[in-house]
């Protein structure tokens, strides 16, 4: 038996945001860049409150700030606008406040607009929360945003989407539906990146979110969090951690993934903390590791981290 869960409404297509009739008295949760890029104007909200201080790799304190500032105000619904960070904070806050959730991705990769996952830092360490309460009521996927995305953000997001669908395809808790979506997602994303076709990247990212969101990511994501804890952005870490994980797992996506990592040209990364301590922490991440197609030991993880540290992943 399989169960598929997703937002009750998914709206997609270029300029779909500008055609959507937003409710009054929304709280818009986003990050700093949204105003400068003209995105808030593009939403054409009637009257709204704004929280635009979501940071990269956000912490639970950001949610607490929002709750203390807005819990006692008259808000009809919460709009999350931005990358995975802004959407995760918006979903988490809206769930706590029991509000209607409208999620709008502006970078295409996290899939957060269609998943029940929110990743937040607790005591400086990234942790992923999984709960049906985090599902958006409405997700709006509008490719208009991708043309205003800075190159660095663009490539980190693209790699995240590719990592998610390919790890998802290999996940032990996958099924026919998730495998179908994850594989199609990879095809769309790969073709979109190699041929610079943004519409394909946006669709690929949506399929990826729906696919892995109904199973899980695996070793590549588990390895990435210790790098992100040291300030390396999610996609940048995945370029290396998912590559070594795919090799370890004998994933059928290994060489296609590697080819795209090379094309997007990521600077090498290095873990500052001790790899044995990092391996201990990674091994506690059961949500990812229990679904990995191969059993992973402490020693395996240390070897993979050292491979990344020795800048030996892309050869």
Which is nearer to Zn ion, 117 or 136 (by Cβ)?
A: 117
**Which of 160/183 has CB closer to Zn ion?**
160
Can you tell me the distance from the alpha carbon of 90 to that of 110, in angstroms, rounded to the nearest whole number?
Answer: 14
Q: Applying CB under 5 A, what is the total number of residues that bind Zn ion?
A: 1
At residue 299, what are phi and psi to the nearest 5 degrees? Answer: -65, -40
**Region binding Zn ion by CB under 5 A among candidate stretches 122-130, 154-162, 171-179, 289-297:** 154-162
Q: How far is the CB of 43 from Zn ion (least distance, A)?
A: 25
For residue 188, give every residue at least 6 positions away whose Cβ sits within 8 Å of its Cβ, in sequence order, or none: 200, 201, 203, 204, 207
Binding mask 102-141 for Zn ion (x = CB under 5 A): ----------------------------------------
Q: Say how far apart CA 185 and CA 175 lie, in whole Å.
A: 15
- Binding segment toward Zn ion, per CB under 5 A, in 148-156, 157-165, 204-212, 276-284: 157-165
Residue number with CB closer to Zn ion (48 or 129): 129
Which residues make Cβ contacts (< 8 Å) with residue 308, sequence separation at least 6? Answer: 223, 240, 241, 244, 269, 270, 271
Tell me the closest approach of the beta carbon of residue 160 to Zn ion, in angstroms. Answer: 4
Tokens of 173: 């808790």
Length of the chain: 315
Nearest distance from residue 257's CB to Zn ion, in Å? Answer: 14
160 binds Zn ion (CB under 5 A): yes
**Both structure tokens of 103:** 């999620």
Q: Which residue is nearest to Zn ion (CB)?
A: 160
Backbone angles phi, psi at 78, to 5 degrees: -120, 130
Query: Does 88 interact with Zn ion (rule: CB under 5 A)?
Result: no
Footprint of Zn ion on this chain (CB under 5 A)? 160
């Amino acid at each position: 038996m399989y169960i598929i869960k997703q937002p009750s409404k998914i709206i997609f297509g270029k300029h779909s945001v500008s055609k959507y009739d937003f409710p009054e008295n929304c709280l818009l949760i986003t990050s700093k860049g949204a105003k400068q890029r003209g995105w808030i104007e593009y939403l054409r909200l009637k009257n709204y409150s704004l929280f635009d201080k979501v940071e990269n790799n956000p912490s639970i304190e950001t949610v607490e700030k929002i709750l203390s500032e807005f819990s006692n105000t008259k808000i009809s619904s919460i709009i999350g606008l931005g990358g995975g960070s802004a959407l995760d904070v918006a979903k988490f806050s809206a769930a706590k406040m029991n509000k209607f959730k409208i999620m709008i991705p502006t970078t295409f990769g996290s899939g957060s607009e269609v998943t029940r996952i929110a990743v937040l830092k607790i005591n400086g360490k990234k942790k992923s929360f999984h709960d049906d309460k985090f599902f958006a009521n409405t997700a709006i996927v509008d490719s208009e945003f991708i043309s205003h995305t800075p190159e660095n953000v663009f490539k980190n997001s693209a790699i995240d989407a590719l990592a998610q669908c390919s790890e998802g395809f290999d996940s032990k808790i996958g099924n026919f539906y998730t495998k179908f979506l994850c594989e199609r997602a990879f095809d769309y994303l790969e073709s979109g990146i190699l041929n610079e076709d943004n519409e394909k990247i946006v669709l690929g990212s949506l399929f990826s979110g729906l696919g892995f969101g109904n199973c899980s990511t695996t070793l590549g994501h588990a390895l990435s969090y210790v790098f992100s804890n040291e300030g390396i952005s999610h996609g940048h870490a995945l370029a290396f951690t998912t590559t070594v994980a795919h090799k370890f797992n004998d994933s059928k996506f290994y060489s296609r993934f590697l080819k795209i990592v090379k094309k997007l040209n990521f600077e090498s990364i290095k873990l500052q903390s001790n790899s044995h301590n990092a391996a201990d922490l990674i091994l506690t991440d059961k949500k990812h590791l229990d679904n990995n197609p191969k059993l992973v030991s402490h020693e395996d993880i240390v070897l993979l981290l050292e491979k990344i540290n020795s800048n030996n992943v892309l050869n």
